Structure 1
Amino acid sequence: MSDPNNPNIAIRTTPQWALYQRESFWNTNDGKYPIFNTDPAEIEKLAKEKLSQGGWYYSSCNAGLSWTHLSNRQAFYRHRIVPRMLVDTNQRDTATEIFGHRVSAPIGFAPIGINRIYHPTGELSVAKVAQELNLAYCLSSAGSYSIEDVGKANGSGPRFFQLYQSPDDELCISMLQRAFDNGFDACMLTTDTWSLGWRHNDVFTGNYAFYHDHGAGDLGLQDPVFQKRLKEAGIDPKKNPKEAGQKWIDENIWHGRAITWEKMKWTMAQWKRISGGRPFCLKGIQNVEDAKKAVEL
């Protein structure tokens, strides 16, 4: 199993799974059992039971017939980890560095939009846990809570900002400035989702939180430029939250306007100017030639 007095544990920066397993087995002597099964399939089943129908559909369904999702998994399954034996791995550590931040493991929290449809605390709880684990956290610009509040929840944790390129340059700059001012010191521009994919279950049930009670979310509503745009359009977000949400998502997030390499270079230049040269990444690149071009730029 695992010896809790193993002196090598002291140098490791991540929780010891073997100790968790040991505790789980031992605690059954006192009638205590884990609160959930760690099998991913069982966690998924539990999520389906706990979430609303809309929350489940938004988190689980993919575009089209999910063939890309399936092929990605099949490609991943083809990889194998083949360990070498009789090697001294006692003083091992999963800690690594990303964008100048020392993190406890080479994994992080990906940018997922509108977390409030899963739980009232939305991105705040996720950002807090990321900081506690010292793992990188990335906030989606389609998030529920404001950039400022998520930054506070993440505390001293390493955090990055994912940007959906708005065709409104003033709004784009405003979001980048807010992100950097609140400790998000790397920008990840999404290149492959300027128009929402066709998700059968969401379309069938009208599952689009921005058009309903969620509206634009605090991330959009607290942006000074978007507030100005609402005023120009004569939309009061308190009286007409659905109309405000429609304006936010349709005109600034999934707006259907293709992003070009030239526009990307403009966005990168704005981020570099605002952040003093902090990292800028492209998210969603799928072609080798595009990847090479990204490196060149």
Structure 2
Amino acid sequence: MDTKAPNKDHRTTPQYALYQRENFWKSNEGEVPPFSTGNMPCDSIFILRNQTDLAPDPGDLEELAKEKLTQGGWYYASSNAGQSYTHTQNRQAFYRHRIIPRMLVDTNTRDTRAEIFGHKVSAPIGFAPIGINKIYHPSGELPVAKVAKELNLPYCLSTAGSQPIEDVGAANGQGPRFFQLYMPHDDELTISLLKRAHNSGFTACILTVDTWQLGWRHNDVHTSNYAFYHGIGADLGLSDPVFQKRLAEDGIDPKKQPNEAGAKWIDNVWHGRAHSWEKMPWLIKTWKEISGGKPFCLKGIQDVRDAQKAVEIGCDGIVVSNHAGRQVDGAIASLDALEKIVKGRCSDLEIWDF
């Protein structure tokens, strides 16, 4: 990439091709990139300690992650529902779909900018909601939210996040950010979470509908690997005034009984009692009133009929997702579901794929 290429004068977003050039140049300064980006599984988290851990082959990244993470951290990042058939379908769907490049198209004024719910972002990608970041680093979601702002990419905070909503909002600064809701059956608690999200600058509510209870993830179950039950990661809930009342009503002191407090929090979120379409008008109306009409979306949609139902009830968007295969084993691949939903002409929605 020529650093003087005129494309840089026409675009409003970073010239990402220069990052490749920088990496090719690094060896002249006695450096190499800290890790390879090849062959990285799309639904796992990798933390490498330093650049001496550089994998000689991209496929070794997974083994390095297993080595560096705690057993619990590795299991939580890598475990899928059942025998991982849905996860396998996700991978195979990307192998089946192919790009047909077109040549000699004028790309000299290219720009990767995109717009989502009125936010102008630097690329059509974003940070999906991931829970319990504290099991990977004590700062949890805070540095992730900060980097999202620096990159001008949308950030989504999970209700299962391990930092208070207000702190994550502050870390994200003026970045575009959305709040992913796992909805309790306690309406007062739901309203409190939504108010906190709105007051902290989160500009859309995304309800996840495929995780009213956890899928059966063999390694997590076998090792009792549930951070919330062991006093880790419930800070988002423990900082909520309504939930603090619930703890007091049950006589639970979160400082003296962190395990019990964490268990009560997550039992309110992944509670084993499914919501239905009948509850959605109340939730949409509540969020719209709190936020002044900001967007509401459903995450976890995989069927054309559900996408069409989302349009009927007034959703502003959907996330086509099977939770990376972590919830229902044997399900359709997200990419295949996305194709069917788009062909189903649910054109009144913003549609994303995670």
TM-score, length-scaled by structure 2? 0.80
Comparing 148-157 with 20-29, which one deviates more in the overlay?
A: 20-29
What CA deviation, in whole Å up to 9, does each residue of 1:230-281 have, x standing for no partner?
Answer: 000000000000000111111x111000110011221111101101111000
- Cα displacement string for residues 40-60 of structure 1 (whole angstroms, at most 9, x for unaligned residues): 433444332322111111111
- Superimposed CA distance per residue, residues 74-107 of structure 1 (whole angstroms, 9 cap, x where no aligned partner): 2232222222111110110110100110011111
Is 1:28 the counterpart of 2:27? The answer is: yes
Task: Give the match for residue 285 of structure 1.
Answer: 301
In structure 2, the gaps of 5 or more residues are 41-57, 314-354
Query: Which one of 278, 284, 289 corresponds to residue 268 of structure 1?
Result: 284
Q: Identity rate of aligned residues, in percent?
A: 72
**Structure 1 residues 13 and 58, CA, compared in 2 at 3 Å: closer, same or farther?**
farther
**In the alignment, which residue of structure 2 is the partner of 1:154?**
172
Is 24-33 or 228-237 further displaced after alignment?
Answer: 24-33
Name the residue aligned to 2:153: 135
| CA distance in structure 2 between the partners assigned to 1:225 and 1:39 by the alignment | 45
Q: Is the deviation greater in 9-18 or in 132-141?
A: 9-18
Q: What is the aligned partner in structure 2 of residue 229 from structure 1?
A: 246
RMSD: 1.3
1:55 aligns to 2:54 (yes or no):
no
Amino acid at match of 2:238: L
Residue identity matched to 2:262: G
**Counterpart contact for 2:131–2:161, Cα < 8 Å:** yes
Given the alignment of the two structures, is residue 82 of structure 1 paired with residue 100 of structure 2, yes or no?
yes
Distance 1:12 1:40, change over 3 A: farther
Partner of 1:257: 273
Q: 1:172-226 CA distances to partner (integer Å, 9 max, x unpaired)?
A: 00000000010001000011100100000101111100000305x2200110000
1:6 corresponding residue in structure 2: 5
Which stretches in structure 1 are left out of the alignment for 5+ residues? none
List aligned pairs for 1:122-201, cutoff 5 A: 122-201=140-219
Aligned residues: 294
Contact 2:14 2:122 in 1 (8 A): no
Q: Which amino acid aligns with 2:236?
A: L
TM-score for the superposition, normalised by structure 1: 0.95
How far residue 147 of structure 1 moved from its aligned partner, in angstroms, is 0.3
Q: Corresponding residue for 2:260?
A: 243
Structure 2 contact 214–270 (Cα < 8 Å) conserved: yes
Query: Which one has the bigger helix percentage?
Result: 1
Give the conservation status (yes or no) of the 8 Å contact 2:205–2:295: yes
